[in-house]
Chains A and B, each alone.
Chain A
Amino acid sequence: MTQKQKRMLVRILAGGICFGATFFLPLSGVARLLSYLVPFFIVGWDVLWRALRHIARGQVFDENFLMSLATIGAFCTGEYPEAVAVMLFYQVGEWFQSYAVGRSRRSIAALMDIRPDSANLERDGQIVTVSPETVAIGDRIVIRPGEKIPLDGVILEGESSLDTAALTGESLPRDVKAGDDVISGCLNLNGLLRVQVTKTFGASTVSKILDLVENSSAKKAKSEHFISKFAKYYTPIVVLGALFLAILPPLFAGGAWTEWIHRALIFLVISCPCALVISVPLSFFGGIGGASKAGILVKGGNYLETLADVKTVVFDKTGTLTRGVFNVTAIHPDDCSAEELLELAALAESQSTHPIAKSLREAYSLEPDGNRIQSVEELAGRGIRAEIDARTVCVGNDKLMDEIGVTWHPCHHVGTTVHVAIDGAYAGHIVISDELKPTAKEAVAALKKVGIEKTVMLTGDSDAVGREVAKTLGLDEVYTQLLPAGKVEQVERLLSAPGRTGKLAFVGDGINDAPVLSRADLGIAMGGMGSDAAIEAADIVLMDDDPQKIALAIRLSRRTRAIVRQNIVFALAVKGLILLLGALGVATMWEAVFADVGVAVLAILNAMRALSVKALAPKREK
């Protein structure tokens, strides 16, 4: 509680006690009026004061003014307890609103507590503590255990575990070693790290995330626009209605003035649209905050709204459903051992920079002995011919085998096949393929479960690989051998497909995906290994690259939408009902003030549910 809130609470309590005492005092006439004025001023003097100041500035449809008018009007018509009660409950509602908003603001701020305060810069062999903004690209920084990583960089020295929970929602620490990239905002748990900075603070992950979340509430959802418009007209219309109600019936139908003024005052009590104006953005803010707690960055309330309507999810393959890292997945020797086959291939490829060569060397795991290699010749687009241990070893694709006249046989494993021939005789082949992400299958299943009608995969990869992946994961459609432009075409075709309902989301990670990401109704990017262009173009970013988060995000967005709808319908229904009953003379001021404050409190409490993500998160195994 802030000082202001504490003071207000004391005033509310004091006013309430005073009001209760007055209620039972056997007073009458002026004494009674005066005794009710005491709690009235204790609780409401600031409202009256602000109302005066607002009138002086020409602000008529101001809630302070309307409340003052309603309560003073009640005093004038002799309803002293009602007048005090309206002021008291109005203040209770205001107090609660400020408390609730402050709380959710703080919990979101705590969530975003990833901004590092300082960096330990290495300068001339000395370590100085500086502000992260002053560190330049290429500088070396030291991160001690327990410190936050201040800037993005690559590890030069040291090993440690990183707590990435603040960024990704992932609670398992990530192990890193020299050569690994680290992103700012993670917590260094146990080892000392020396890191070379690769991005300035402004361009670092932590700054980008903070920017995203802070600006997210600037992009308003449709329902927020609706509420803004509604609020603009609601108050003037209700106040005008009150005016007519007070004047017309007594003037033309011969009603009693006090009776109709009383009904008009009821209108004024519920003329403030604050419950709606605050609860709708608060729900979206909570939804976005809750999502970022789970490592899902949503760039605006409008995207959260679109996500709730998604019925088609289109995936890119490499890096999105697969890890985007090539690995040896099968070794099939013909007339030597598997170890020998891999060793020869790794030796032959020991100088090459091709991704396939890299994966062969990684699978071999030992340092290739350069002394055994007499000569190496790279044959572009085909492979490598090398002299190893005085034998001619050819490592490459089927074209190379055909060229040297070696009969090869295809592999039943899907992936890139690397054939090996020794002295013109076929020795076997090694299959290299991209691995599926461990959660890819569950991710697709989870999407089906939340009611996604169609899942599609687009890939530049070969038909065989694409179909195999799509079959394993249970995807509905797959389009293979696509160039980047082809992906845009496919998405456009899906967008304009006849009979399509709901929105289309595209999930991707690469630079090539940026045009598709912006073309789809909703772009979702992989934030961990995704390119900057993809993250820039996307509307939603998954920080830990886990495709399973898509279904979670959809459920979150739907819950947020449900909360928003509940609040709008509930608030409008109650206000409408009380307006009607008030005009008919059935509702009293008591009901009006309870309706006004009660609706605000309930709507805010409901909005705060949007922040909680626990109930929706998938249960972790083990």
Chain B
Amino acid sequence: MEKTYRIEGLDCANCARKMEEALNALDGIASAKVNFLLQKVILQYDADDEKEVIKQVKKTCRKIEPDCELIG
């Protein structure tokens, strides 16, 4: 399934690029796009273990940019 999240506190374009790279490397994520200009994260993942996937996603985002908050 595909889902779009808003992301807050993403201040640097290079961080967005790094975040996209890290999210795409996660298990359970088919494809991730981090749109710096729209401050959005578009994820494609298996719906089975949604909670776990999102937990991982949030963790990854925080690792790269501690001030980032995934919303929605």
A contact residues vs B (CB 8 Å cutoff): 50, 53-54, 57-59, 62-63, 94, 98, 101, 104-105, 214, 217-218, 228, 231-232, 235, 272-274, 277-278, 281-282, 285
Contacts and interface: CB of A to CB of B under 8 A. Distances in A.
B17 to A, nearest CB: 6
Interface of B: 11-15, 17, 21, 33, 35-40, 42, 63-64, 66-67
Nearest to B63: A57
A50 B13 contact: no
B64 A59 contact: yes
B12 A101 contact: no
Contacts of B67: 50
B42 A228 contact: no
30 contacts: A50-B66, A50-B67, A53-B66, A57-B63, A57-B64, A59-B64, A63-B12, A63-B14, A94-B11, A94-B12, A98-B11, A104-B37, A105-B39, A214-B38, A217-B35, A218-B35, A231-B14, A231-B17, A232-B17, A232-B21, A272-B14, A273-B14, A274-B12, A274-B14, A277-B13, A277-B17, A278-B13, A281-B36, A281-B37, A285-B37
Contacts of A217: 35, 37-38
Contact of B37 (A54, A58, A101, A272): A101
B44 to A, nearest CB: 11
Contacts of B42: 218
A285 B39 CA distance: 13
A339 B72 CA distance: 67
Nearest to B16: A277
Contact of A105 (B11, B15, B37): B37
A58 B63 CA distance: 8
Query: Closest 7 A-B residue pairs measured CB to CB?
Result: A278-B13, A277-B13, A277-B14, A57-B63, A53-B66, A285-B37, A218-B33
A232 B18 CA distance: 8
A214 B36 CA distance: 12
Nearest to A50: B66
Contact of B63 (A59, A94, A231, A278): A59
A-side interface mostly = helix
A282 B37 contact: yes
Contacts of A235: 14
Contacts of B35: 217-218
A106 to B, nearest CB: 11
Contacts of A105: 37-39
A335 B60 CA distance: 86
Contacts of B37: 101, 104-105, 217, 281-282, 285
Contacts of A214: 38, 40
Contacts of B36: 101, 278, 281
A228 B17 contact: yes
A281 B36 CA distance: 9
Contacts of A274: 12-14
A510 B49 CA distance: 43
A277 B36 CA distance: 10
A50 B14 CA distance: 15
A272 B11 CA distance: 14
B24 to A, nearest CB: 12
B56 to A, nearest CB: 15
B62 to A, nearest CB: 8
Contacts of A231: 14, 17
Contacts of A228: 17
Given A98-B11, A101-B36, A228-B17, 12 more contacts: A57-B64, A59-B63, A59-B64, A63-B12, A63-B14, A217-B35, A274-B12, A278-B13, A278-B36, A281-B13, A281-B37, A285-B37
A217 B34 CA distance: 10
Contacts of A232: 17, 21
B50 to A, nearest CB: 21
A579 B36 CA distance: 28
A218 B12 CA distance: 17
Contacts of A63: 12, 14
Nearest to B31: A218
Contacts of A54: 66
Contacts of B39: 105
Nearest to A227: B17
B55 to A, nearest CB: 16
B9 to A, nearest CB: 9
A190 to B, nearest CB: 35
Nearest to A57: B63
A469 B40 CA distance: 48
A224 to B, nearest CB: 10
Nearest to B62: A57
Contacts of B13: 274, 277-278, 281
Contacts of A94: 11-12
A426 B11 CA distance: 80
A94 B15 CA distance: 13
B49 to A, nearest CB: 24
Nearest to B20: A228
A54 to B, nearest CB: 7
Contacts of A281: 13, 36-37
Contacts of B11: 94, 98
A59 B67 CA distance: 14
Nearest to A104: B37
Contacts of B64: 57, 59
B63 to A, nearest CB: 5
B72 to A, nearest CB: 14
A43 B40 CA distance: 29
